[in-house]
Amino acid sequence: FYVSEGKDFRPIGVMLADACQKALHYSAAFTSELAPDCLVIGAMDPIGFARQTGLDSLVGIEMNLPRNIEIHHVERGSATGAAAVELGKRLASSGLKVLVCFGEKMKGKLKNEEIPAQISTVIAEEERERGLGEMPAVAALASYEYMDAYKVSEKQFRNICFEMSVQSLNHGALNEYAYFKKSVTRKEYDNPEINRIIAKPLTKYDCSGSYNGAGAAYLVPFPIAIVLFSPFLTARQLMG
């Protein structure tokens, strides 16, 4: 398993192919006899949502994959990475050796205000008609559903979100390529001029920023030792 996140401004196809190559390099299962049977690509890329890229071909060419290898391309908005891994897991369960890659290229050709419109194209039309064309709106509704289901007050919810923000930013400090590395105080978190509402009850610090980066995992249908590698975490940090 390999991850590389942060300020990576290479084309998304190059990032994905690089992550795949490194995942295979560090995999305990990969040999010339145990090469992938198929490739699953999950890309969070607004240009790709507009159908302006051929990521399947780009990644295949970058990796010099055989022409007969199956390539599955998944696009599910902010759930794309998880959907790609889930598909890969199911394919591996059926006996295939699966290379899964997932990436995000949100910074570059589009302005920040143009990104939501492109991402919304992968959201169901009936949901967009009800005002759910942006991911923060969906997350906000899910937050209220969570609060209602578990009887969580808004004050308790804010406390939970603050703790999550602190943990997330602390993790960002470990990554030299991260956009957000500075820790946040409770005073800053509660200040609406610093931490504005994005989609009530969610604020700026509750929502994920836009990133460029990629990761990959090699999934096989038999037990192996798991190897996790990241360019910005030491072995000690990875082991917990």
Find how far residue 37's CA is from the centre of its chain: 23
Q: Residue 212: phi, psi to the nearest 5?
A: -120, 130
Is residue 57 within 8 Å of 90, Cβ to Cβ? no
Q: Which residues are CB-contacts of 146 (< 8 A; sequence separation ≥ 6)?
A: 152
What pLDDT, on a 0 to 100 scale, did the predictor assign at position 236? 37
Which residue ranges of the chain lie beneath pLDDT 70?
1-8, 46-53, 78, 107-110, 112-113, 115-124, 127-128, 130-133, 175-179, 208-211, 225-240
What pLDDT, on a 0 to 100 scale, did the predictor assign at position 149? 96
Q: How far is CA 229 from CA 9, 124, 215, in A?
A: 21, 36, 10
Neighbours of 212 (CB within 10 A): 22
What pLDDT, on a 0 to 100 scale, did the predictor assign at position 49? 60
210 vs 116: CA distance, rounded Å = 11
Kindly list the structural domains of the chain, giving each domain's residue range(s) and its CATH number in brackets, ordered by start.
1-107+210-240 (3.40.47.10), 135-209 (no CATH)
To the question of pTM greater than 0.85 for the whole model, the response is no
Which token pair is 150?
């578990």
Q: Which amino acid is at 166?
A: V
- The H or E element spanning position 154 is helix 154-172
